Structure 1
Amino acid sequence: MPSFPFTTALVTGASSGIGAEMARQLGRAGVPTVLVARRGDKLREIAEQFDGFSVLEADLGTAAGQDAVMEAVGNTEDPIDLVVNNAGFGTSGQFAELDADRLGDEVELNVKALTRISNAAARAMAARGSGYLLNVSSVASFQAAPGLAVYAATKAYVTSLTEALHEELRGTGVHVTALCPGLTKTEFQEHSNTTEYEATFPDFAWTSAESVAAAGLDGVAKNKTIVVPGALYKGLVVTSDITPRAFARRLSGLASSIRR
């Protein structure tokens, strides 16, 4: 059974995938956790399995939903020790052909909601001199991704913001970490219209939600700045750092055209 330094937690996007798996791992470790998502029925199914779990139904694509989570995160009477910003979605396709409103919703959730919740968490944690903030990004944040242009751009923002907060809060007792997984089999593929990836990419290219969640929770406990689960993706990130951007961008575009 895993052991964590967190006493309480809040996980957004906890109804499925990586978020749900983080919730289960926290539950098995005996960490009371607030589960956040739009689908309250899914959250309750998880919450009923563990003591001390509660459900906060909130649509983080709206100001009201964001405000509700910020209020919970900033509550000084019942402080949240670990905040996991996991909620997000992607949109696959050629940018010029995609629905502008959907792209706006993607930016609202992946960027604005995460920013506001991170701000509330950082403010509350810095004031009490302790806490853990885990922002779920992606290996897509290290490289432009034709065919997933907006998703990669939002995740580049998440990784950059998280790195900056890690440095700003250094020495305050607050841990800030970006979790950057590669291909992981979750509902993300269905919601981002990328279900064909399962047939396109070999089994070794996929990581499990269980291993990704474990890596993220372990990483923020150890105050790592960036966590990239899986040897394959660690290697790809290192390569992206030394590959000329123009070449890497073109290579990514060719891979995108092959997938289509």
Structure 2
Amino acid sequence: MTPADRKHSETTALVTGATAGIGAEFARQLAEQGYDVIMVARDTARLQAKAEELERRYRVRAEVLAADLADDAGVAAVVARLSDPARPVDILVNNAGMGLLRSFAENDIADEKRHLKLHVESAMELTHAALQGMLVRQSGRIINVASVAAFLPRETYSAAKAWLVSFSRWANLAYARRGIRVTAVCPGFTRTEFHDRMGMDTTVAPRWMWLQPERVVREGLADNARGKAVSIPAKRYKVLAAAARILPSRLVAGPPRRPV
């Protein structure tokens, strides 16, 4: 794709958790579509390497912003970038996340609070910041990466992702008439670093349950463009989410998260 081929050369997307997995794939596909990207994560070196790759491959501008979104200072840095009227952000992808392997009662409460802040509070703050400029411009797109776990009884991870889904449904309804589309993307098991970082034995889930980040992002972007409030990639997970509404919780809780 050459610069002349781009449909969105004056448009910028900010993606959190952008160095690996679903976040990196969001940044890649948006760059492929011609969007300039702002990549947010904790690891500066990995951010710079990814940014250079996207600039070289897709001829877009790739800005790096090193920030820990479980930390107030990190959130403030991203809020400041989203709030800069001279450099508007038209697409926000709240993707940064973490997992906790042990049960709620076994976890340190400090880890649970960090987990909640990252998935809920930080996503809420960044969405609030992004909306200010989007409402003025009467256009914008927000994608909150949730999980099919939002529909299942799966510790505080499910609770946090259920909040994101509910929030996204409301926001899409509230702001659609003002040109803003908000979507909760709810993938199932996806081949990324996520489960390895939390120390989970990935063999607990059969091979047929695993998705690739490319599909999750492609379907999520398409559903957001169509104005859908919730995107569940793959029919198998659409069926699971529907079944979870009527089946007993013990049948849809999913496999235990055994350590490696």
Task: Provide TM-score, normalisation by structure 1.
Answer: 0.90
Residue-by-residue CA offset, 1:11-67 (whole Å, 9 max, x unaligned): 000011100011111222221100000011111111102131110011111111111
Instruction: From the superposition, tell whether residues 54 and 254 of structure 1 become closer, same or farther in structure 2 (CA, over 3 Å).
Output: closer
Shift of residue 242, structure 1, vs aligned partner: 2.7
Instruction: From the superposition, tell whether residues 252 and 235 of structure 1 become closer, same or farther in structure 2 (CA, over 3 Å).
Output: closer
Matched, 1:24 2:33: no
- 1:170 match: secondary structure: helix
Task: Provide TM-score, normalisation by structure 2.
Answer: 0.90
Which residue of structure 1 lines up, in the alignment, with residue 197 of structure 2?
A: 191
After TM superposition, list the pairs within 5 Å mapping 1:21-170 onto structure 2: 21-49=25-53, 50=55, 51-145=60-154, 149-170=155-176
Which residue of structure 2 lines up, in the alignment, with residue 175 of structure 1?
A: 181
The gaps in structure 1 that reach 5 residues or longer are none
Which residue of structure 2 lines up, in the alignment, with residue 14 of structure 1?
A: 18
What do you get for the CA RMSD once the two structures are aligned? 1.9
Does structure 1 conserve the Cα–Cα contact (< 8 Å) formed by 2:90 and 2:141? yes
Structure 2 CA distance for aligned equivalents of residues 123 and 98 of structure 1: 37
Structure 2 CA distance for aligned equivalents of residues 173 and 157 of structure 1: 23
Residue-by-residue CA offset, 1:167-208 (whole Å, 9 max, x unaligned): 1102100111110000001111022232x1x21222211000
Letter in 2 for 1:68: A
Does structure 2 conserve the Cα–Cα contact (< 8 Å) formed by 1:11 and 1:36? yes
Please, which of 209, 226, 234 is the counterpart of residue 230 of structure 2?
226
Structure 2 CA distance for aligned equivalents of residues 32 and 124 of structure 1: 17
Matched, 1:241 2:245: yes
Identity of matched residues, %: 37
Does structure 2 conserve the Cα–Cα contact (< 8 Å) formed by 1:4 and 1:221? no
Shift of residue 123, structure 1, vs aligned partner: 2.2
Letter in 1 for 2:174: E
Structure 1 CA distance for aligned equivalents of residues 204 and 158 of structure 2: 19
How many pairs align? 250
Instruction: From the superposition, tell whether residues 203 and 125 of structure 1 become closer, same or farther in structure 2 (CA, over 3 Å).
Output: same
Structure 2 CA distance for aligned equivalents of residues 114 and 254 of structure 1: 26
Which residue of structure 1 lines up, in the alignment, with residue 256 of structure 2?
A: 256
- 1:83 match: secondary structure: strand
- 2:64 match: secondary structure: strand
Q: Which moved more, 1:23-32 or 1:172-181?
A: 23-32
Structure 2 CA distance for aligned equivalents of residues 253 and 70 of structure 1: 36
The gaps in structure 2 that reach 5 residues or longer are none
